[in-house]
């Protein structure tokens, strides 16, 4: 079957060329064609993460103090809503130069990034050397100076600490500053198709507005997706401990079948195959008898009689971890 039998030349051309204006999210007007863009196939989160709003509020309060230390004046901080976007699409929109500061999230074996535009970096240095922050960076400057890089790293380290404090009531995150780049390719934060969660903060000082953004892997949203506030994190931990205690009690009440090895000997396979009814195989009683549940050793004891029945007197646990806290859980036998 040829391609023309599937799509005509007119239909193929219509899919490749821009069509008439229309709503890309809705039905096209009759007789018109809606543009087909690959960027429209973004995966949209099915629900919001309420805990992120609380994290942004905590970050706003912390950033006001951090910004005051660096800019030596009161700074208004306004958080931006969280959004989801592919890393490749986001990085292509960044102007050059942009200060890309990698965040190592070792607790979850992934990376994020803090992005600061060139104007923000220039103002940071200008204020540090006594300026009023109203200057402008020279056009065509493609690299950051060593002083700019040094101050940015100090600023990002302070942001990382604020992030750790803001996330702590929900889940412990170990944000650590990593390398700094001006090219997204060298930042190596994620693959181009990976979904990232992005938020930003607008800083207003001396009548000017600056913004930096925090880009985190989408996987970090999962631990806080079901939480609505910090109190729920503590409640979830308490529920987990309660569930663990009940499970432990139920497991210890479970009934198991035990077997004991009371004697042991060695014999050749030839002698065993030639044995006849009435032959005697000598054995030696073991000094200690081990009781097994399946193939797992549980306790040791001595073999004897009790009320006319064969019995084992327990002397010590053979597996302290399996037997439980009553016999010293966590100790090696």
Distance of CA 13 to the CA centre of its chain: 44
pLDDT of residue 46: 35
CA distance 165 to 171: 10
Indicate the range of 54-58, 157-161, 185-189, 270-274 predicted with least confidence: 185-189
Q: Which residue has the higher pLDDT, 223 or 93?
A: 93
pLDDT of residue 158: 92
Please name the residues in contact with 36: beta carbons below 8 A apart, sequence gap of 6 or more.
15
Helix, strand, coil shares, percent, the chain, to 5:
40, 25, 35
Mean pLDDT to the nearest integer, 5-10: 64
Q: Which residue has the higher pLDDT, 64 or 222?
A: 64
What are the structural domains of the chain? 3-36 (no CATH), 50-233 (3.40.1550.10), 248-327 (2.30.330.10)
Mean residue pLDDT across the chain: 76
Peptide bond before residue 97 is cis, with ω within 30 degrees of 0: yes
pLDDT of residue 45: 47
pLDDT tens digits along 170-216: 888 888 888 888 877 777 788 888 888 888 898 887 777 888 899 98
Contact (CB, 8 A) for 214 and 198: yes
CB neighbourhood size of 169 (10 A): 18
CA distance 83 to 196: 8
pLDDT of residue 96: 76
Please state, for a pLDDT cut of 70, what percent of the chain lies above it: 72
- In this predicted structure, the answer to whether residue 257 has a pLDDT above a threshold of 70 is yes
pLDDT of residue 217: 87
- In this predicted structure, the answer to whether residue 237 has a pLDDT above a threshold of 70 is no
CA distance 291 to 23: 74
Residue 327: φ, ψ to 5°: -110, 20
pLDDT of residue 94: 83
CA distance 164 to 172: 7
Beta-strand relationship, 284-293 and 259-264: antiparallel
Cα separations in angstroms, 53 against 49, 80, 213: 8, 10, 15
- In this predicted structure, the answer to whether residue 43 has a pLDDT above a threshold of 50 is no
CB neighbourhood size of 294 (10 A): 10
Of the ranges 68-77, 159-168, 184-193, 235-244, the best mean pLDDT one: 159-168
CA distance 86 to 44: 11
pLDDT tens digits along 284-330: 777 788 888 888 888 888 888 888 888 888 888 776 665 554 544 44
pLDDT of residue 141: 66
pLDDT tens digits along 132-176: 667 676 666 667 888 888 888 999 999 999 998 988 888 888 888
Closest of 110, 96, 215 to residue 159, by C-alpha: 215
Global pTM reads 0.54
Instruction: Specify the 3-state DSSP secondary structure of 291.
Output: strand
**Structure-token pair, residue 96:** 């050059």
CA distance 148 to 64: 21
Closest of 251, 230, 261 to residue 324, by C-alpha: 251
């Amino acid at each position: 079957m040829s391609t023309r039998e599937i799509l005509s030349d007119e239909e193929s051309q219509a899919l490749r060329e821009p069509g008439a204006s229309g709503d890309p999210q809705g039905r096209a007007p009759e007789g018109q064609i809606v543009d087909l863009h690959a960027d429209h196939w973004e995966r949209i989160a099915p629900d919001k993460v309420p805990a992120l709003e609380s994290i942004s509020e905590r970050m706003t309060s912390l950033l006001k103090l951090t910004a005051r230390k660096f800019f030596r004046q009161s700074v208004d901080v306004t958080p931006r809503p969280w959004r989801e976007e592919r890393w490749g699409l986001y990085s292509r929109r960044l102007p050059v130069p942009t200060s890309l500061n990698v965040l190592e999230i070792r607790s979850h074996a992934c990376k994020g990034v803090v992005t600061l535009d060139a104007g923000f970096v220039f103002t940071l240095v200008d204020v540090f050397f006594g300026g009023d922050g109203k200057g402008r960076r020279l056009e065509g400057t493609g690299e950051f100076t060593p002083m700019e890089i040094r101050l940015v790293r100090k600023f990002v380290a302070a942001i990382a600490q604020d992030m750790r404090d803001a996330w702590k009531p929900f889940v412990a995150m170990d944000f650590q500053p990593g390398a700094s780049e001006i090219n997204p390719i060298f930042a190596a934060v994620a693959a181009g198709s990976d979904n990232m969660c992005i938020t930003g903060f607008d800083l207003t000082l001396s009548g000017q507005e600056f913004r930096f953004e925090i880009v985190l892997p989408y996987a970090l949203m999962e631990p806080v997706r079901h939480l609505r506030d910090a109190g729920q994190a503590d409640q979830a931990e308490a529920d987990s401990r309660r569930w663990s205690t009940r499970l432990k009690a139920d497991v210890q009440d479970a009934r198991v079948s035990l077997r004991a090895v009371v004697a042991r000997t060695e014999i050749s396979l030839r002698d065993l195959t030639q044995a006849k009814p009435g032959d005697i195989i000598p054995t030696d009683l073991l000094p200690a008898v081990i009781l097994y549940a399946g193939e797992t050793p549980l306790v040791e004891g001595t073999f004897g009689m009790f009320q006319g029945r064969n019995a084992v007197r327990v002397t010590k646990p053979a597996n302290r971890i399996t037997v439980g806290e009553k016999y010293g859980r966590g100790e090696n036998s």
